[in-house]
Structure 1
């Protein structure tokens, strides 16, 4: 791809996900004119990179497929960057017309924030925004998703548990290795001050 062509970033969809939000932040931070291609699985993103359809992929460090994403095509696709970015404010939302919630929708990477075992029926979906879609469609009584949904539909949802924003690391994959020395790190990072304190 030439430098003048729009870059394409793959990330977990659908639009409105934490992946979408932080991919947009990263593109904006670098002042790029770029497109986002949403995938349901990161192995799809790797395939699209290998086919030349996508230039970069962004994945949250907490995603259950991180190790496999790094390992699957490690001679062709490399970690080229990382950054810290907050999630949307998150929590457990429940439909207001349900007194005793029995079913739950959640993304597997969020199960450490709360106890999914409190619900009889649990549905794992690909992203927090997919959980929100399921709640709106009445697919389950409760869901772990962005608390923005309760602000948007105050008559339909209550917030049962507030987690809030969480700072997480986002991994950026590309087709060219950028590490040229033993360690690729930021000497003047804010952490450096903490390390030397």
Structure 2
């Protein structure tokens, strides 16, 4: 069984997909492949080169991916998961960085007015890697990178994480045209308590 999700290695998609596989006890029986974009991931699924695909619901390509239901790609599951903790990381060898590297969807997480220039980067993993290799002096990256590279980076501002909705795709339509939901979910219990 092969799951596919968005790379590069170290991405939130990889992190959350591993958590999903662990949740279902699939770590030993499933493999994971990283794709450079969801169009290629969807094609791998449709061409039987992968079995399932995991995508963050707020990813810019989600609407196009869901539309592939007309080609045989179906939403088969959804779940909520926090991503990796984020922080504004700064290289220790730069005293006063003038620009901040940020993936566009994470820009609302911070006050951008404190930066003279914002550099838009495709993924948080690329921001983090760019901080480590010196491409960027400061950026909104994975907080764990400061602990892994204390000689290079420090946390200028801890941001934390958000709980995102995630979508799992497969080639078998499971809803059969009906609402598919978990009545005894934590939200279902909350609704019953509130009623």
TM-score (norm 2): 0.89
Deviation at 1:75, TM superposition (A): 3.6
**SS of residue paired to 1:170:** strand
CA distance in structure 2 between the partners assigned to 1:178 and 1:68 by the alignment: 20
The 1:74/1:124 distance shift into structure 2, 3 A limit, reads farther
Q: Which runs of 5+ in 2 are unaligned?
A: none
Cross-structure match for 1:15:
9
Contact 2:73 2:169 in 1 (8 A): yes
**CA displacement 1:48-71 (0-9 Å, x = unmatched):** 112211111101122111111111
**CA displacement 1:14-50 (0-9 Å, x = unmatched):** 2222111111111122222111111121111011112
Cross-structure match for 1:144:
140
Contact 1:12 1:59 in 2 (8 A): yes
Q: Which runs of 5+ in 1 are unaligned?
A: 1-6
Are 2:19 and 1:25 aligned? yes
Paired residue for 2:157, among 156, 161, 176?
A: 161
Are 2:113 and 1:123 aligned? no
Count of paired positions: 190
Normalized per residue, the structure richer in helix is: 2
- Structure 1 segments, 4+ long, off by >3 Å, are 72-75
Contact 2:6 2:55 in 1 (8 A): yes
Cross-structure match for 2:131:
135
Contact 1:88 1:165 in 2 (8 A): yes
CA distance in structure 2 between the partners assigned to 1:159 and 1:87 by the alignment: 18
CA distance in structure 1 between the partners assigned to 2:44 and 2:55 by the alignment: 15
TM-score (norm 1): 0.88
Q: CA RMSD in A?
A: 1.7
